[in-house]
Structure 1
Amino acid sequence: MDLLNYCIIVRCGPDQQSQALSALEFTQALLTQGHNVERVFFYQQGVLTASRLRTPAQGELNITKLWQKLQVENKLELDVCIAAALQNGIVDKTESERYELGAYNLASGFQLAGLGQLAGATIACDRVVTFGASQ
């Protein structure tokens, strides 16, 4: 079996448990099989996964914490589209200071990134897999 280099794009929010969990489980399976995951890019509603303030409803999985665990175990790049993040009120310390917000809520293990990083990853990867429909 040839080992491939993947880029994963997550466009579904954490409230879409089935799709969000599919993205996570697919990424886990790739890593278990020895494939490389160049980066995971959270885009559109997917950026909501990166909020450290998100609390799932009772009985739902905490997708944010599951991604954080996978990131630590595999040193994954979890990139969050900066434009979509800002539109959804998700900021890191730098953006919080820039916009004088007084607080930040980007979960640890995630980093804000531009579409340039996504473009570079798609060029470098053998496969790009997207989860979630466009809106």
Structure 2
Amino acid sequence: MKFSIVVNEGPYTHQASDSAYHFTKAVLAKGHEVFRVFFYHDGVNNATRLTTPPQDDRNIVSRWSKLAQGSELDMVVCVAAAQRRGIVDEGEAKRNGKDATNLAPGFRISGLGQLIEAGIQADRIVVFGD
């Protein structure tokens, strides 16, 4: 079965990100395909490399990056939601006159068309968060 996952909540503020991560990991472990993980609304905060949790806490952003690297996940961050929350890659930084980037490894910024495509291509779309 082919899944697409939507994460609408940020790390450390809601269980949605943790649940989405563990669900995605379990789906892959069972041999299913994840077409795309789409981060939307506050969920884009899962993609900032500047998150620095205490040493005794889980690093949700790092978990997502490692999962993407190990399984070649397509992890897309909504461009409009990212811009509102100050998350930029090199292209967005240059286009908007910013002097730094903060997109974590394994994530990419794109538009809502990627969410539509994820819904079309997947057998199931699972949404975490409001």
TM class by shorter chain equals over 0.9
Q: Distance in 1 between matches of 2:92 and 2:16?
A: 29
| Per-residue deviation, residues 44-94 of structure 1 (Å, max 9, x unmatched) | 010001001111245321100000110011000010000000000000001
Matched, 1:76 2:73: yes
Match of 2:115 among 108, 115, 118: 118
Percent identity at matched positions? Answer: 47
Compute the TM-score of the two structures, normalised by the length of structure 2. 0.96
Aligned length: 130
Structure 2 equivalent of residue 36 of structure 1: 33
Aligned equivalent of 1:9, options 3, 6, 12:
6
Shift of 1:100: 1.0
Q: 1:79 to 1:73 in 2, by over 3 A?
A: same
Code of the residue aligned with 2:65 in structure 1: it is Q
- Tell me the amino acid that sits aligned with residue 18 of structure 1: Q
Cα shift readout 1:3-30 (whole Å, capped 9, x = no counterpart): x110000001002353211110000000
Partners of 1:80 and 1:68 in 2: CA distance:
13
Task: Please list every run of 5 or more consecutive structure 2 residues that lacks an aligned counterpart in the other structure.
Answer: none
User: What is the one-letter code of the residue matched to 1:47?
Assistant: V
**Over 4 Å off, 4+ runs:** none
1:132 aligns with 2:129: yes
The equivalent position to 1:61 in structure 2, one of 58, 62, 66, is 58
- Give structure 1 stretches of 5+ with no counterpart: none
Cα distance in 2 for partners of 1:64, 1:17 equals 14
For 1:113, give the aligned amino acid.
S
CA distance in structure 2 between the partners assigned to 1:28 and 1:130 by the alignment: 15
Counterpart among 14, 17, 20 of residue 17 in structure 2: 20
TM-score, structure 1 normalization: 0.92
- Give 3-state SS (helix, strand or coil) of 1:38's partner: strand
AA of the residue aligned to 1:89? G
